[in-house]
Amino acid sequence: MARISLAPPRTLALRIGEWYSHRRYGKVLDPGKALAHNPRVLMDYVRLERGVGRWRTLDPALRHLAVMASAARIGCSWCLDFGHWEARELRLPLERIRYVPVWRGHRDLFTELEIQVMEYAEAVTETEPAVTDEMVRALVGRLGEKAFVELTAIVAVENLRSRVNSAFGLTGQGFSDRCEVPPLPPGRTPQASRPSDRPEPGAAEPLP
């Protein structure tokens, strides 16, 4: 149950946000309702997200894996739930995306680069960060410095999202229920394509 009321004052900014959210996502997002108690924070948050949405250097599939791995490390159930909707919008293979929170036990479902990205996302998310020189060298060598900077920044942004949502006590809104493949518990083997069956994604080459 949310720790903060999800019925903020009915300001003009909130009404506009509700209209856009319904149109874009089919429902009003709970983080927006919580943040709307402080309209200035809400508007600056929206500006940040709009700016982040224009980042285009990092491969979208790698970016999404990094975001999901960070959210899972923090334990933000709202972000993981919403992440399944985003994966569907990006046309990513949901039968693999649902295993991101337990990727270490299902390495055969991911490419070497995908594993490096998720491992780095978790290291950045740790308190204190556990990034190593070897991680950075490997990723810069594979992605280039421009995409590596974007990777690091998107993980930091996801830390903001996940920590705010977790502090507010927000949980899933049923987005994963609207996907073709819902999340599965650890231990089950999905009928997914193996990394060897697919080209490995690069900085501008999304997964099929």
Contact 21, 27 (CB under 8 A): yes
For 37-50, how does the pLDDT look when each residue is reduced to its tens digit (9 = 90+)? Answer: 999 999 999 999 99
Calculate mean pLDDT across residues 8-24: 90
% of residues, the chain, pLDDT over 90: 75
Tell me: the pLDDT tens digits for 71-103?
999 999 999 999 999 999 999 998 889 899 999
DSSP state of 202: B
CB 63 within 8 A of CB 77: no
pLDDT above 70 for 194: no
**pLDDT range class, residue 184, cuts 50, 70, 90:** low
The pLDDT value given to residue 183: 54
* pLDDT recorded at residue 202: 46
What are the backbone dihedrals phi and psi of residue 155, each rounded to the nearest 5 degrees, phi first? -65, -40
**In this predicted model, what pLDDT tens digit does every residue of 48-73 receive, in sequence order?**
999 999 999 999 999 999 999 999 99
CB-CB contact of 49 with 59 (8 Å): no
Mean pLDDT of the chain: 88
**Whole-number pLDDT of residue 179:** 54
The gap between the terminal CA atoms of the chain, to the nearest Å, is 37
Distance CA 82, CA 103 (A): 18
Q: Is 169 left (phi over 0), alpha (psi -120 to 50) or beta?
A: left
- Alpha-carbon distance 63 to 59, whole Å? 6
Alpha-carbon span 112 to 169, nearest angstrom: 34
Nearest CA to 42 out of 28, 23, 63 is that of 28
* Statement: residue 195 has pLDDT above 50: yes
Write down the pTM of the prediction. 0.84
Q: What confidence score (pLDDT) does residue 95 get?
A: 82
Q: How confident is the model at residue 13 (pLDDT cuts 50, 70, 90)?
A: confident
Q: What is the DSSP letter of 199?
A: P
- Asked if residue 58 lies in contact with residue 157, where contact means CB atoms within 8 angstroms, the answer is no
CB 139 within 8 A of CB 58: no
pLDDT of residue 99: 93
CA–CA dist 187, 190 (Å, integer):
10
For 144-168, the pLDDT digits (tens) are 999 999 999 999 999 999 999 999 9
User: Is pLDDT of 198 > 90?
Assistant: no
Report percent pLDDT > 70 for the chain: 85
Identity of residue 125 = T
Chain centroid, CA 23 distance in Å: 21
**Amino acid, single-letter form, for residue 159:** N
Looking at the predicted structure, is the pLDDT value of residue 118 above 50? yes
